[in-house]
Amino acid sequence: MIDATEADKPALSACIQEVENYYKNLPSPTFDLTDNFTKQALGRMVKTILEPFGYQPDTQKDMPKSCSAEFVTSATVYKYVGNATMRVVRKIEEINK
């Protein structure tokens, strides 16, 4: 989600395919991705995930066509505002076999 945000794309675009595929493959879904309340709850989860990293909601954008999103057609793009309490640390390590 942070990588999508840094690329000026909706944060949800990082995982919307997985969410929609999960929904479509449920034999009897307990949530409805066609419902606005459910989509807003999904967006709220994204906000909760990104807040500790210093990101806040900025603008609403259409999902990139490359996401092939069927149910969620737009989502929020976030901006870094600081006050982070967490950070992503990436490092490459050799695996000794």
Q: Give the tens place of pLDDT for each residue, 32-56.
A: 999 999 999 999 999 999 999 999 9
pTM of the model: 0.87
- Per the domain annotation, does 91 fall within a domain? no
Q: Cβ contacts of residue 87 below 8 Å, gap of 6+?
A: 53
Please give the backbone phi and psi of residue 76, each rounded to the nearest 5 degrees, phi first. Answer: -85, 140
Q: Is 39 among the domain residues?
A: yes
Task: Tell whether 95 is covered by a domain.
Answer: no
Of all residues in the chain, the percent with pLDDT exceeding 90 is 95
Q: What is the mean pLDDT of residues 12-33?
A: 94
Q: Is residue 61 part of a domain?
A: yes
**Residue 10 placed within a domain:** yes
CA 52 remoteness from chain centre: 14
Give the domain extent around 76: 2-80
Whether 85 maps to a domain, the answer reads no
- 47 lies in a domain? yes
Q: Is residue 97 pLDDT above 90, yes or no?
A: no
**How far apart, in whole angstroms, are the C-alpha atoms of residue 45 and residue 83?**
19
Residue 86 maps to a domain: no
Q: Which residues pair with 65 in a beta bridge?
A: none
Count of domains for the chain: 1
**% of the chain at pLDDT higher than 70:** 100
In 3-state terms, what secondary structure has residue 53?
Answer: helix
